[in-house]
Amino acid sequence: MTLKEGKEKFIQSWGALGSSWGINRTMAQIHALLLISPEALSAEEIMEELQISRGNANMNIRALIDWGLVFKELKPGERKEFFVAEKDMWEVVKNIIIQRKKRELEPMLRVLDEISSVDPESEEAEEFVEIIREIKLFSNKADSTLDTLVKSDSNWFVGTFMKMIK
């Protein structure tokens, strides 16, 4: 396989993966492109490589920076902005966990709290509150487990953890 084919295949597949994760195809492709790029790239270069418009590139780069997956890099003398990806996969996963926890798990916890206040004025209502209580319990545990996970370091994750639970 040639380098060109390999790069294309990677960008392609990473894009597809992203889209089953609520991340849009282009955003994931930009991330893929930067991941495999030893040098920082400018918006122009990204547009060129992926054949996308300036607006599209700009919006998705912004979003990647928001997620902590890409950083802006200013080269001395150059007016243009350049971009590099976080290359450490454990950092990438950690950032995704942090962001999704904040955007999804935490709001859900708040909703579950509100819902628990349903008046238990019937058999049915009591059953409902009980089911919600269980979901809340589980979610809280997931929440703190993720917190701990995010604080732990990569070596722990890939090394000790696996042996410990075997």
Partner DNA sequence: GCGAAGTTTCAAAAAATACTGAACCGACAA
Partner DNA sequence: TTGTCGGTTCAGTATTTTTTGAAACTTCGC
Q: Return residues touching DNA (CB under 7 A).
A: 19, 24-27, 42-44, 51-56, 58-62, 78-81
Q: Tell which one of 10, 58, 63, 82 touches its own copies (CB under 8 A).
A: 10
CA distance 114 to 98: 23
* Binding partner selected for residue 3 from DNA, its own copies, none, CB under the kind-specific 5 to 8 Å limit: its own copies
* Binding partner selected for residue 109 from its own copies, DNA, none, CB under the kind-specific 5 to 8 Å limit: none
Under rule CB under 8 A, residue 51 binds its own copies: no
Binding mask 31-50 for its own copies (x = CB under 8 A): ----xx-x------------
Amino acid at 140: N
**Which residues make Cβ contacts (< 8 Å) with residue 21, sequence separation at least 6?**
28
Beta strand 70-74 with 81-85 is antiparallel
Closest by Cα among 63, 141, 138, 150 to 98:
150
Count CA atoms within 13 Å of residue 5 on its CB side: 2
With residue 72 as reference, give the H or E element that holds it: strand 70-74
Our CB check for DNA shows the closer of 43 and 98 to be 43
Binding mask 80-109 for its own copies (x = CB under 8 A): -------x-xx--x------x--xx--xx-
